[in-house]
Each structure stands twice: as structure tokens, then as C-alpha cells.
């Protein structure tokens, strides 16, 4: 089946989301389809997604979908093309075997990859799964630091971000609302920074699960039904056993 897609969205929002997805994908993948970005248009807007089989990211943005569909396009060329545009709105539409990027003053065409060969990007678990959402803190994304391990004190509603052992760096305290058990996951600094970057300036929810952590925008009650308000980033984690 030939893929179809036709949507119009804000250039700045799509460019920023495309760059965030590109940072996760490997520069020289062993499988060419892993260098591709999934672009899916529907009634709720557009979703940009990618994976390297260990980590996965899904970013939703508001957009007007003229034709619902899904395509796989090389991630970096799409991100760089969108970043170079100065128009307020951009249209992404299928033209034959290419994805056309249109603005009133410019037009580009990007090759497509075989979307059927892509492994797909998993959808994070829903909010009804309470056990997996145990230990989900809320913190300000602007308070992040580059190499941190999150630890929860026993009797304080906050998490203390401490550097790994044998690192000459001071501890940083980030205010957070903690619910659930006392999980102590560790993350690589680069992946943690990339996961938090789309939520900069706002509040973010970390759902610490058995084998992964889901980063979701912490929405205010009035924003929960707003289009494009939900952003999700799935990142694998390395679990560090508690120190005795």
C-alpha cells in the first residue's frame, strides 16, 4: 500500500520536535530504517517518532491533517529543512515517492524510506496502570543538571539529584512531588538531558517503571483536554541497586 500524508502545522514547533527526535537516533545506524523519523498525521495533530531499538521518543504537535497517514523520512534532512524555513506555517504532503515540504516562498522534496520495515515506536502505558506509575515525581525541567542519579530521601517529598560515585561534583536538590515506592534508577547524562529538553520551562512527570521511564508533560487541569498538550518521551534506564 502506498503511504499517504498531507498536513499543515507551525514551522517552529515541527522544527523543534524534529530536532529533538534526531538527537536520539544514531548517526551511523547498522539498519538504515533506524535513521528514519515516523511522521503520522491524524485528527489529533501530528506525531513525530523514532527509535534506536533501545530508546524511543514520541512527540505530538498540533497540526491540521488534510489526509491522515504515516510515512518514514530520513530524520536529519527533515529536521534541517524545517529549521531552515522562515515561514510561519509549513505543509508536508506526499508527492509520488517523496515528501514535499512546502511554504509560500520555498519548496523541498525528501526521499522516503520503507515504513513497513520500521520496527515501530511503543506507546507508553496509560495513567490507569498505578503500579507502574509508582514513584512518579514532578519537577521543573529547567532545574535539570548534566550527570545525575535520582535518589529519594525516606521522609521528604523531594528527590535529591546526586552525581555518580567518585565524581567531584556537588549534589543538587530539585523540588518534586513523589508518589509510590522508593525507586533509585540511574540514567546516562546525555539521554536524560535529551529527554528533558522538550519540556524545558515547564513541569515534567517521571513515571519510573520496571524497565523504562516515561517522561510526560505535567499538565494543569485546564490543559488536559487541550489539543497537543500531551508530550511523551520514553527512555530506557539503568537500574542501580540500593547502597547498603
Contact (Cβ atoms closer than 8 angstroms) between residue 21 and residue 72: no
Q: What is the per-residue pLDDT for 204?
A: 83
98 in the same domain as 143: no
13 in the same domain as 110: yes
Query: Mean pLDDT score of the chain, rounded to an integer?
Result: 76
85 in the same domain as 180: no
Contact (Cβ atoms closer than 8 angstroms) between residue 120 and residue 140: no
What average pLDDT score do residues 15-39 get?
Answer: 85
111 in the same domain as 31: yes
154 in the same domain as 108: no
Q: How many domains does the chain have?
A: 2
66 in the same domain as 11: yes
84 in the same domain as 164: no
CA–CA distance, 21 with 37 (Å, rounded to integer): 8
For residue 125, tell me if it sits in a domain: no
Nearest to 216 by CA among 119, 224, 73, 156: 224
Contact (Cβ atoms closer than 8 angstroms) between residue 136 and residue 214: no
| 73 pLDDT above the threshold of 80 | yes
Alpha-carbon torsion 124, 127, 128, 134, what sign? positive
Q: Which domain, by its residues, includes 149?
A: 138-239
Q: Which among 63, 84, 117 is the end of a domain?
A: 117
13 in the same domain as 104: yes
How much of the chain exceeds pLDDT 90, in percent? 35
For residue 133, tell me if it sits in a domain: no
Q: What is the per-residue pLDDT for 231?
A: 45
- Lowest mean pLDDT, pick from 120-124, 141-145, 160-164: 141-145
20 in the same domain as 79: yes
Count how many residues are written for the chain. Answer: 244
Q: What is the per-residue pLDDT for 137?
A: 54
Can you give the pTM of this predicted structure? 0.58
CA–CA distance, 166 with 99 (Å, rounded to integer): 49
Q: What is the per-residue pLDDT for 128?
A: 45
Q: What is the per-residue pLDDT for 86?
A: 92
CATH number for the domain spanning 152: value is 3.10.150
For the stretch 202-216, pLDDT in tens is 788 888 877 778 888
CATH number for the domain spanning 64: value is 3.10.150.10
142 in the same domain as 62: no
| 171 pLDDT above the threshold of 80 | no
Amino acid at each position: 500500500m502506498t503511504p499517504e500524508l498531507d498536513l499543515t502545522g507551525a514551522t517552529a514547533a515541527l522544527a523543534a520536535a524534529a530536532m529533538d527526535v534526531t538527537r536520539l537516533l544514531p548517526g551511523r545506524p547498522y539498519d538504515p530504517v533506524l535513521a528514519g523519523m515516523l511522521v503520522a498525521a491524524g485528527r489529533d495533530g501530528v506525531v513525530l517518532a523514532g527509535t534506536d531499538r533501545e530508546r524511543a521518543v514520541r512527540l505530538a504537535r498540533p497540526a491540521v491533517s488534510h489526509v491522515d497517514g504515516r510515512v518514514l523520512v530520513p530524520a536529519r534532512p527533515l529536521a534541517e529543512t524545517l529549521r531552515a524555513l522562515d515561514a510561519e506555517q509549513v505543509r508536508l504532503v506526499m508527492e509520488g515517492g517523496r515528501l514535499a515540504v512546502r511554504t509560500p516562498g520555498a519548496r523541498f522534496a525528501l526521499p522516503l524510506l520503507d515504513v513497513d520495515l520500521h520496527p515501530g515506536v511503543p506507546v507508553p502505558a496509560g495513567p490507569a496502570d498505578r503500579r507502574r506509575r509508582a514513584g512518579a515525581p514532578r519537577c521543573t525541567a529547567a532545574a535539570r543538571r548534566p550527570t545525575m542519579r535520582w535518589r529519594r530521601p525516606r521522609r521528604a517529598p523531594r528527590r535529591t539529584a546526586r552525581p555518580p560515585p567518585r565524581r567531584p561534583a556537588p549534589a543538587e536538590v530539585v523540588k518534586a512531588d513523589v508518589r509510590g515506592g522508593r525507586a533509585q534508577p540511574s540514567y546516562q547524562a546525555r539521554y536524560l538531558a535529551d529527554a528533558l529538553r522538550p519540556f524545558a520551562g515547564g513541569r515534567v512527570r517521571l513515571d519510573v517503571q520496571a524497565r523504562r521511564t516515561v517522561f510526560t508533560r505535567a499538565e494543569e487541569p485546564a490543559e488536559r483536554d487541550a489539543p497537543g498538550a500531551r508530550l511523551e518521551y520514553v527512555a530506557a534506564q539503568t537500574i542501580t541497586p540500593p547502597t547498603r
